[in-house]
Amino acid sequence: MTLHDPQVCMRQMRDHAKEVIELTRAKTRESFQADRILTLAVVHLLEILGEAANRMPTEQRAKYPQIPWQQIIGLRHRLIHAYDQVDLDIVWNIVTQHLPALVRTLDEVL
């Protein structure tokens, strides 16, 4: 197994979360769903965010219990493996309700 730098993993998580927030900033739930390219981009960025979380060494994850590691990694698995069942209401809720808090938390620990 390749060892990954925890700081790099967390910076990647933060940067991809910020990118999602920026892409969706002026959007409504309806305009988000109507824009296929945007929804694909957001889902892909969330997959990458989850992969960066998954690469974080387990012992390092334990140092940051304020980060919802299992939920982030679980979302990545869901988006990758159940790609034909992605619920955009859930994705929108994550983007608007959970990502801003995650970015703040990652900024604090970085």
Active site residues: 76, 81
Cα(41)–Cα(39) distance, rounded to whole angstroms? 5
Nearest CA among 2, 90, 77, 85 for reference residue 47: 77
Looking at residue 84, what DSSP letter applies? G
Tokens coding 61: 């994850």
